[in-house]
Amino acid sequence: MKNGVGFLNFLHHDLLIKILTSLDDPSDLVRFSAVSLSCRHFVITNGLCKRLCLRMFPQLSRVDHVNELGGTAKRHAEAGSSNFMEWEALEREHRVYALLARYCLSSAVGNCISEAIMASSTDNYPQESIDNTLEPRDRVAWRASYWSSKGQRNPAAPERLTYKLVGDLCVVTEIKIKPFQAYFHIGYPIYSAKSVRFRMGHIKSSMENHVDDSYQDSGNDKFVWTYTSQEFPMAQENHLQCFKLPDPILCIGGILQIELLERVQGCWNGLFYICVSNVQAMGRPLSPAFGIQILEPPEKFVLEALSHAQPTLPEQTSSESSLQMRVKDLEQIVNSLLAYVDEVEENGFGWDTDTEESDADEEGEDGIE
């Protein structure tokens, strides 16, 4: 059994493939490949790390090829031969997928949402902007913090909230959503949706320069969705509700969209609304270790291993967090003041300068007399 050859010959090829592809922990496959040169050759030749990753994340079937930007390619006397080039490609795939599988299971778990991109509608912008859903606090600067849709007479009208994640590749396990309870309305109604659905994908390459922080979008024509979930029922309750995905999903492109389906709460004006206080996407980021390049047509992409640095969530010091909270408070105060000014002008409660001037003239004349 020198170099493990006897062991490999002892088992039928297909049986050994079946055993190795049934492993749950990618590190076990890597350990097997380290037993001997023949074991390593067997794992690489049959692309077992790639098979394991595809089993874990079917979204990887869209990979056209892999690149290593941080590694050094070994030169060989047969560098010009097709056999060597093929073996080099297999080795590269093995290294990339082995590293990917490792980080998909070992990196830190946290909220992967980086910023809000757009909402399908917003009732009062910016006071009820989608940006408010990134704020975990219920109130900011003594004002309720939430996003509100425009009112609809049809309760079946859906809404969409679209977010950018912290990296182009993230493993998402669950979404958390907190419906908003309007404590300033009679009966303290909760403006939740009846159900939710999630989409993940990437911006169309032709639209990369046309997607901004607009608070109202024009549909899904800007995105390519690589994953669409089932519908999850949402409770009409004012707490952070967890929607655990059946399996961890590899978000390719770093875009998450939440579809809020059907409205359950009407307002005094006869319209139905959906309001959300907070949104979180729990999972593991794979940056800066991995990145992607979207190819044309957009059904395929290049998986890039950029470094061996352990993927991490963006860290935020207590001073930075405190400063951001103060800035958010200030923004809410300014928005509230602007909204008050608009309301005063709209309802005709502004100062009548002409009347004031005429009154002053009359007082002046009376005083002279």
Q: Give pLDDT tens digits for 261-272.
A: 999 998 888 999
Residue whose C-alpha is closest to residue 312's, from 78, 57, 112, 12: 112
**What does the mean pLDDT of the chain come to?**
82
CATH code, domain carrying 118: 2.60.120.260
* Overall average pLDDT of the 204-217 stretch: 55
Claim to verify: residue 268 and residue 205 sit in the same structural domain: yes
Q: Could you tell me if residue 261 is inside a domain?
A: yes
pLDDT higher than threshold 80 for residue 281: yes
Question: Are residue 261 and residue 216 in the same domain, yes or no?
Answer: yes
Per-residue confidence (pLDDT) for residue 25, from 0 to 100: 79
**pLDDT the model gives residue 216:** 54
* Structure-model confidence comparison of residues 148 and 28, the more confident one: 148
Question: 164 and 134, same structural domain?
Answer: yes
117 and 21 co-located in one domain = no
Where does the pLDDT of residue 189 fall: very low under 50, low under 70, confident under 90, or very high at 90 and above? very high
Instruction: Report CA 312 to chain centroid distance, whole Å.
Output: 15
Residue 304 Cα distances to 61, 147, 336, angstroms: 15, 36, 46
For residue 297, being part of any structural domain is answered with no
Within a domain: 33: yes
41 and 140: one domain? no
Give the pLDDT mean for 69-81.
Answer: 51
On whether residue 117 sits in a domain, the answer given is yes
Instruction: Give me the domain span that covers residue 32.
Output: 2-106
Q: Which pLDDT band, with edges at 50, 70 and 90, does 81 fall under?
A: low
ω before 288 within 30° of 0 (cis)? yes
Across the range 336-361, mean pLDDT stands at 51
* Same-domain status, 269 and 125: yes
In this structure, of 223-237, 326-340, 350-364, the range with the lowest mean pLDDT score is: 350-364
The pLDDT > 70 percentage for the chain reads 75
Whether the predicted pLDDT of 319 surpasses 90: no
pLDDT of residue 298: 65
Compute CA distances 60 → 1, 47, 97, 145, whole Å.
Answer: 36, 14, 10, 38
How far is 51 from 244, CA to CA, in rounded Å? 25
Statement to judge: residues 100 and 211 lie in one domain: no
Q: What is the tally of structural domains in the chain? A: 2
pLDDT in the model for residue 173 = 96
Of 85, 106, 127, the residue that ends a domain is: 106
Assess contact for 190 and 144: CB atoms under 8 A.
no
pLDDT at 352 over 60: no
Do 188 and 53 share a structural domain?
A: no
CA distances from 168 to 254, 281, 290 (A): 4, 14, 8
**Is residue 342, in this structure, part of any structural domain at all?**
no
Is the same domain home to 64 and 125? Answer: no
Instruction: For residue 117, give Cα distances in angstroms to 15, 191, 254, 280.
Output: 49, 22, 12, 14
23 in a domain, yes or no?
yes
Q: Is 357 exposed, middle or buried (CB count within 10 Å of its CB: 0-12, 13-18, 19+)?
A: exposed
| Among 285, 303, 328, residue at a domain's last position | 285
